[in-house]
Amino acid sequence: MAHVHLTLEEDVLKELMLGKREEAVTKLLEQVFNSVLQAQATEQLNAEPYERSDERTTYRNGSRTRMLATRVGSLILHVPKFRDGTFSTELFSSYQRSEQALLLSLMEMVIQGVSTRKISEITETLCGTSFSKSTVSALCEQLDPLVDAFRNRPLSQHYPFLVVDAIYMKAREQHRIVSKGFLIATSVNDAGFREVLGFTVADGESEAAWNEFFLSLKERGLREVDLVTSDDHGGLTKAIRKHFCGASWQHCQTHFSKNMLDRTPKKLQPDLKVALTDLENAPDLNEATARKNQLIERYQEEAPKAMALLDERFDEITAVYGLPEPYRKRLRTSNSIERLNEELRRRERVIRIFPNETSMIRLMGSVLMEIHEKWVTGKKYFTMERYEADKEEARKAVQLDRDELNHTDQLTA
């Protein structure tokens, strides 16, 4: 065992007792660590400095300077060097583990929405040294392989429901600040757990952008989608029809209601909103159709534009009736993904402008990874055990309803 000989300088002792204790503790710890390193060197050499000994294994060859950040400040340590390069120490091992934990904490702070400037202030308080904004950003690049693996993972399960949306964020590109679309897709797997299926950055919500995104999902294994829920953005709906033939498209009822109320005279909006909610809560398609007809008859003269929109888009906002009743409420709107977007916005407000597209994918992808992990390890979103059987029954019931409505229309024509 190495024996440590420590001689305190008089100035350090005075500061410990009477002066600036924080600086004195830093100097004291620095002396302790350097003394430990010298004692370990003596033990490994089997000889004190300048000692002649037959048991000596090799010779000292100066030292190298190393900075070590601790809670009491940064220490300047002189690590011994041997001629044959065999000196080793475990002195730094615990601090290396702490340093790794600190780096992970820094990345976690970024993901949770703490600004890089604030992180610099926190590390200076905790460790006696600060990390620059560029250093924190460089550390976060370690997230890239994890995010890439997550967004390109195989989609080996069956995902019958797809909810898609996009939000816009600002990023620097060729010395300009531009708006970027962040496209997101979520779903529910065979076991009933929600998943973040994928995300990408595009110049906007054009049909080409959504085509490329949906193609990437299908290449990873997405298949046999029964229902896609989204808003009615033109490029998005065209891409949905192209890539998910055979799937129903559910026009988000929340977005539709807003569009319809925008076309309604202000004095009628409160009453019409209540009536529209009543329509959306109808127990089956027949009842929803009856409530739609009553609504149109009542407001046709006072709100003709709104009633024309309702009549035109009725099949789109009631596509969810093709699913068994337990699945309708959560899939008739894209509200679930809107709440996810709020989490992304909370982080984005801290950054304000991303330095580039890669940093946007890194941070937003890390947030989505964390949300995804909570989803797949939390409570089930749906009970899927009877989904296929219930789906077939619901499909037949809707077909009967539609046949009955068509027959009624023919009789009244």
Q: In this structure, how many other beta carbons lie within 10 angstroms of the beta carbon of residue 382?
A: 19
Query: How far does Cα 30 stand from its chain's mean position?
Result: 42
| Average pLDDT value for the chain | 82
**Alpha carbon distances (Å) from 27 to 24, 124, 281:** 5, 18, 72
Q: Is pTM beyond 0.85 here? A: no
At residue 99, does pLDDT exceed 90? no
Residue 98 pLDDT: 46
Q: Any idea what DSSP says for residue 194?
A: E
What per-residue confidence (pLDDT) applies to 12? 59
Task: For residue 362, give Cα distances in angstroms to 34, 112, 186.
Answer: 40, 13, 18
b (16+ CB within 10 A) / e for 289-319: bebbeebbeebeeebeebbebbeeebebbbb
State the average pLDDT over residues 208-237. 95
Nearest alpha-carbon partner for 344 in 213, 181, 100: 181
Q: Report the alpha-carbon angle 217-218-224, nearest 5.
A: 115
Summarised one tens digit per residue, pLDDT across range 7-39 is: 656 665 566 555 566 676 777 778 877 888 888
Whether residue 190 has pLDDT greater than 90: no
pLDDT at 91: 58
Please report how many Cα atoms fall inside a 13 Å half-sphere around the Cα of residue 121, on the Cβ side.
4
DSSP string for residues in 36-70 = HHHHHHHHHHTS-TT---TT----EEEEEEEEEEE
Burial label, 160 (beta-carbon count in 10 A; 0-12, 13-18, 19+) = buried
Convert the pLDDT of each residue in 73-87 to its tens digit: 677 888 888 887 777
What would the pLDDT profile of 255-268 be if each residue is shown by its tens digit?
999 999 999 999 99
Please say whether the beta carbons of 120 and 134 come within 8 A: no
Predicted local confidence at residue 45, as pLDDT: 84
User: By C-alpha distance, which of 248, 271, 273 is closest to 259?
Assistant: 273
pLDDT digits (tens, 9 = 90+) for 109-166: 555 555 556 655 555 554 445 555 565 566 666 778 888 999 999 999 999 999 999 9
Q: Above pLDDT 70, what percent of the chain?
A: 76
| pLDDT at residue number 68 | 73
Domain boundaries defined on the chain: 10-91, 96-147, 157-408
Question: Each residue of 346-389: pLDDT tens digit?
Answer: 878 877 888 889 888 988 888 899 899 999 999 999 988 778 77
Reported as a single tens digit per residue, the pLDDT across 268-295 is 999 999 999 999 999 999 999 999 999 9
pLDDT for res 101: 47
- Residue 193 per-residue DSSP state: -
CA–CA distance, 248 with 228 (Å, rounded to integer): 6
